[in-house]
Amino acid sequence: MIIFAGLGNPGGKYARNRHNIGFMAVDEIAHRHGFSPWRKRFSGEMAEGRLGAEKVLLLKPQTFMNESGRSVGEAAKFFKIAPEDVYVFHDELDLAPGKLRCKLGGGVAGHNGLRSISAHMGKDFQRVRMGIGHPGSKAKVLSHVLKDFAKDDQDWLEPMLRGVGEHAALLAEGNASSFQNKVHLTIHPETSERPEKKTKPEQKAPAKPETPAKVETQTAPKTEQKAGPMASALKKIFGG
């Protein structure tokens, strides 16, 4: 069994916040793959199902972001799941909107949800980093993550969530790079169309200049010269 934990804050007030993209991701997986109904467990909401050959526990901590580790840690401890089999879907300020990257372990980059999970089970869990972009100033970070996605964000948000849902089995089976690539192609389908290789137009060899037709010249046949008087006389004397 593996855990797919989405991070966010509970309640309708936060449902469409950028900080809740992790909740949105696991909701999409549950919907597309017919998981069990959500039920309260491990200080969160839990749903069970299968992705390919893997049994998967989906988890949405209901402890608010800063205490996410309590919920994830409880579930991992109960099922005896190693940190490397725990996948955490979360918002990532350091990635541009619409970018998704997977990695094992690493720092928390100021993310309070990741910090809480690291405190409960160490840092060696899987991260599915879902880019929301940086507001440009540290002072604006809190208002940025706790603000709803803008209308323009739907151009990349909807296909990203669809890609995560459609290809979640690749991630569950350990093919993180393939999963990452498939999600990218869902967001940017035009990159899958390889442009046709341009070939140079066929160049015809320059025509050889026409050589003038060979004019056959006829030389006049040599005419037999009549023998002179001296020659005739000698011929009579000596014969011939």
Which residue segments constitute the domains of the chain, with CATH numbers given? 2-190 (3.40.50.1470)
148 secondary structure, DSSP code: B
- Listed in sequence order, the DSSP H helices in 21-153 are 21-32, 68-78, 112-121, 141-145
- Interaxial angle between packed helices 154-166 and 21-32, expressed in degrees from 0 to 180 and rounded to the nearest 10: 50
Instruction: Count other C-beta atoms under 10 Å from residue 106's C-beta.
Output: 13
User: What is the C-alpha to C-alpha distance for residues 67 and 177, in angstroms, rounded to an integer?
Assistant: 29
DSSP 3-state helix, strand, coil percentages of the chain (rounded to 5)?
40, 20, 40
Residue 90: CA atoms inside 13 Å, Cβ hemisphere, count?
27
18 secondary structure, DSSP code: G
At 193 the three-state DSSP class reads coil
Instruction: Count other C-beta atoms under 10 Å from residue 5's C-beta.
Output: 31
162 closest CA partner among 140, 188, 138, 144: 188
- Radius of gyration over every alpha carbon of the chain, rounded to an integer in angstroms: 42
- Whole-prediction pTM: 0.80
Interval 170-225: pLDDT, tens: 999 999 999 999 999 999 998 876 555 554 545 555 555 555 555 444 444 444 44
**Which residues share a beta bridge with 100?**
130
Known catalytic residues? 19
Interval 110-146: pLDDT, tens: 999 999 999 999 999 999 999 999 999 999 999 999 9
